[in-house]
Structure formats: C-alpha cells, structure tokens
Amino acid sequence: MPIYEYQCNACDHRFSKLFRAVTSSSEGLKPPCPQCQSVDTMRLISSFAVHGAAHGDAAEAAADNAALAKRSAVTPRGQIDRWRGAMEGDRGAKKGAG
C-alpha cells in the first residue's frame, strides 16, 4: 500500500495520500486537496529514510538534513501559534465554567 505525497497547485498545501493498491495510484487519479478541495494537484518526489551507519562527511549530511527539513515543513509557525492559542483559550474557558 503506497503512500504518495502531493502538492496543491491552487493553495500550495502539501499532503499525503494512502492508496489501498498500487494499481489505483498508477491509474493517474489525482486526489483532491484536503484544504481547498481543488483537484489541481501534483505528485511530488518523496524522500526516503536510510537506516544504518552513515558513511561520508558529517557536515554534508547535516546540511542535507537542514535543507530537507526546510523543504518538508508543511505547517507554518504562525498557524501553529494560532492553534496553540485557540487550544489554551478553550482550556481557560472550560476551567472557568467548571
């Protein structure tokens, strides 16, 4: 069951889609964006993990990891902060009501 990464061309949202069979993913069906429901999506080339001892320059590996982390950041910090504030506000309202 492959998991593919997609990006919406309308809103730039990145998301993953699990296909129950390899044939359904190869039929060219593009999943709609879960954020804006647009069907104008494109499949991305996914990164993969390599397990085991690293062979090579540690500085080069750190730079690659930093670049990958920057590219794969899906949620902007401002959105996380707004969500956290809303959650803290909900907890405060529940404490005051109880």
Per-residue pLDDT reduced to its tens digit, 44-95: 877 666 665 555 677 777 777 777 776 665 566 777 788 788 888 766 665 5
Per-residue pLDDT reduced to its tens digit, 11-54: 999 998 887 776 655 566 789 999 999 999 998 877 666 665 55
The confidence score (pLDDT) of residue 66 equals: 75
* Cβ contacts of 30 within 8 Å, gap of 6 or more: 6, 39, 41, 42, 43
The confidence score (pLDDT) of residue 36 equals: 95
The confidence score (pLDDT) of residue 11 equals: 95
The confidence score (pLDDT) of residue 34 equals: 93
Widest pairwise Cα distance in the chain: 58
Domain boundaries along the sequence of the chain: 1-47
Tokens at 96, concatenated: 């005051």
Q: Thinking of the domain 1-47, which architecture would CATH place it in?
A: Single Sheet (2.20)
